[in-house]
């Protein structure tokens, strides 16, 4: 076998043409960075307008470039653009097509600019757009949760610790807990957006340029607050993407926790919710089953977002300033994570909006496991002046007595209770029972229905 054929066999499969094909495949990013076409063209239009304003290129050249870029964008949006892998990336594909359309003026567009600051501004614009998209999707999810909270503000359900029944809470209170979580996610995306809102355009390859650029003009045109102050940092930084992925990971974790609860709650053992057929599937062999597939798939997709966060951190951790080709690997991870996050938010919003709580089953479950034991202990402290540890011991003894009799605490007789502590009076029955329990939790942030309605009103006002 010749050296050439041996080499081809070693490369194998689609790369049988040899090292040139391998290099083209590993070097090209156009297969994924074409997603930044609008951001690339926006950046180029801003740059061309600034070059003309500074007298670096003529107004006629700037006009030709602007019109040509609009034609390119129209071709991309109508899916008629002639993508070419050999041109490597979105920047070179757009520039080459621009030259075919307008000729010589296209060559002046790159004055005072490098692909290093060009990709930095494109990617920053794209990630900024994703922060805005996540904010809108989170607002919709929060509104769906508030809708559920309003419907069941006084539905009683079990609150859990260790997935064991702990104390009664209200359905509305549980829904509003997720409102608080997802509101913090909105704040994280907003905070990340604010910090990333500086323009790298004009930093050129790494050291700036000798052309008299007006970087504030391009920053303003692209909606940035200001140009980045250090040209090395401008082309080297990817922490804006890491912040987005960090916020996305925390948000995804919250989505996964809610998805897990929906999986548990919709099971035959719990029966807390009925999931809509739109978000469930049947079994191919067991006709009685309704599987919460959307929640399960969402729970699994979260791993892709976590993985992207770790992958980009790993890519960046060992890179000296400024640009290295490793950084080409930043986009696929971030694109995939953004897609998974937006899909997850949309799916969860649909599931929450469509699901039906089962108040009767929730109430039965809330009364299980001696869930009002803490109310009994609190009463002993408040009314009889017992130290809490003593009240805890008395309550534990009464729980054991109820277990022995096969009943719940409110079903014990007064005589049963007084046999454990003679100071217990008929008034104890005013605090026992799940409805009494939740109504009594009126401390700020507590589960009382009036509290829940107050929080709903506060959030509705905030969202409007």
Q: Rounded to whole angstroms, how far apart are CA atoms 240 and 191?
A: 11
**Model pLDDT, residue 433:** 85
Please count the other Cβ atoms lying within 10 Å of the Cβ belonging to residue 394.
19
pLDDT reported for residue 375: 84
Nearest to 117 by CA among 323, 318, 329: 323
Helix (H) or strand (E) run with residue 161 in it: strand 156-161
Residues 173, 178, 179, CA angle at the centre, nearest 5°? 90
pLDDT of residue 25: 77
Q: Quick one: which H or E segment has residue 203? A: none
Q: What is the phi-psi region of residue 112: left when phi exceeds 0, alpha when psi lies from -120 to 50, beta otherwise?
A: left
The span from the CA of 165 to the CA of 245, in Å, is 35
**pLDDT of amino acid 5:** 43
Of 6, 162, 210, 284, which is the active-site residue? 162
Which residue is listed with tokens 């030259």?
Answer: 99
Cβ atoms of 143 and 155 within 8 Å: the answer is no
Q: How far apart are CA 363 and CA 344, in angstroms?
A: 30
Q: List the structure tokens of 242.
A: 């890491």
Alpha-carbon gap, residue 48 to 431, rounded angstroms: 73
| pLDDT score recorded for residue 14 | 54
| Rounded distance between C-alpha atoms, residue 191 and residue 244, angstroms | 10
Q: Is 457 among the catalytic positions?
A: no
Neighbours of 17 (CB within 10 A): 11
pLDDT in tens, the chain (464 residues): 444 444 444 444 555 556 677 777 787 888 888 999 999 999 999 999 999 999 999 999 999 999 999 999 999 999 999 999 889 899 999 999 999 999 999 999 999 999 999 999 999 999 999 999 999 999 999 999 999 999 999 999 999 999 988 889 999 999 999 999 999 999 999 999 999 999 999 999 999 999 999 999 999 999 999 999 999 999 999 999 999 999 999 999 999 999 999 999 999 899 999 988 888 765 555 545 578 889 999 999 999 999 999 999 999 999 999 999 999 999 999 999 999 999 999 999 999 999 999 999 999 999 887 888 888 898 999 999 999 999 999 999 999 999 998 888 888 999 999 999 999 998 888 888 899 889 989 999 999 999 999 999 999 999 99
Residue 30 is predicted with a pLDDT of 85
d(CA 276, CA 375): 36
Active site includes 440?
Answer: no
Residue 33 near residue 67, CB atoms below 8 Å: no
Contacts made by residues 71-74, CB under 8 angstroms, sequence distance 24+: 71/101, 72/41, 72/97, 72/98, 72/101, 73/37, 73/38, 73/41
- Which one of the listed residues 74, 283, 454, 457 is annotated catalytic? 283
Q: Which two tokens stand for residue 436?
A: 């009494």
């Amino acid at each position: 076998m010749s050296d050439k054929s041996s080499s081809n066999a070693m490369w194998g499969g689609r790369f049988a043409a040899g090292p040139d094909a391998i290099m083209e495949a590993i070097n090209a990013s156009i297969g994924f960075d074409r997603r930044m076409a609008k951001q690339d063209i926006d950046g180029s239009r801003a740059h061309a307008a600034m070059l003309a304003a500074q007298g670096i290129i003529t107004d006629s050249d700037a006009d030709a470039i602007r019109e040509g870029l609009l034609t390119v964008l129209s071709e991309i949006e109508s899916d008629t653009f002639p993508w070419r892998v050999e041109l490597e990336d979105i920047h070179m594909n757009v520039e080459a097509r621009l030259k075919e359309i307008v000729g010589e003026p296209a060559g002046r567009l790159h004055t005072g600019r490098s692909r290093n600051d060009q990709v930095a501004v494109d990617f920053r614009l794209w990630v900024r757009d994703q922060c805005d998209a996540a904010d809108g999707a989170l607002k919709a999810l929060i509104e769906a949760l508030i809708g559920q909270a309003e419907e069941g503000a006084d539905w009683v359900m079990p609150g859990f610790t260790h997935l064991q029944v702990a104390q009664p809470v209200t359905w509305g209170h549980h829904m509003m807990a997720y409102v608080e979580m997802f509101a913090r996610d909105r704040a994280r995306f907003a905070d990340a957006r604010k910090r990333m809102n500086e323009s790298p355009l004009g930093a050129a390859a790494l050291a700036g340029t000798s052309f008299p650029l007006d970087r504030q003009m391009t920053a303003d045109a692209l909606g940035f607050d200001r140009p980045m102050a250090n040209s090395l940092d401008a082309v080297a930084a990817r922490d804006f993407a890491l912040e987005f992925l960090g916020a996305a990971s925390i948000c995804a974790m919250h989505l996964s926790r809610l998805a897990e609860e929906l999986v548990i709650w919709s099971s035959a053992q719990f029966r807390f919710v009925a999931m809509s057929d739109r978000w469930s599937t049947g079994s191919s062999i067991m006709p009685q089953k309704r599987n919460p597939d959307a929640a399960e798939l969402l729970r699994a997709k979260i791993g892709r977002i976590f993985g992207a966060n770790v992958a980009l951190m790993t890519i960046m951790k060992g890179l000296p300033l400024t640009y290295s080709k490793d950084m080409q690997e930043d986009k696929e991870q971030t694109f995939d994570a953004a897609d998974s996050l937006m899909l997850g938010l949309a799916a969860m919003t649909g599931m929450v909006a469509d699901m039906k709580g089962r108040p009767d089953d929730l109430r039965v479950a809330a009364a299980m496991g001696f869930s009002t034991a803490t109310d009994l202990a609190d009463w002993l402290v408040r009314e009889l002046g017992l130290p809490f540890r003593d009240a805890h011991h008395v309550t534990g003894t009464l729980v054991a007595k109820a277990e022995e009799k096969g009943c719940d605490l409110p079903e014990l007789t007064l005589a049963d209770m007084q046999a454990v502590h003679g100071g217990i009076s008929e008034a104890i029955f005013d605090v026992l029972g799940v409805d009494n329990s939740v109504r009594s939790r009126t401390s700020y942030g507590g589960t009382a229905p009036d509290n829940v309605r107050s929080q709903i009103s506060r959030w509705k006002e905030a969202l409007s």
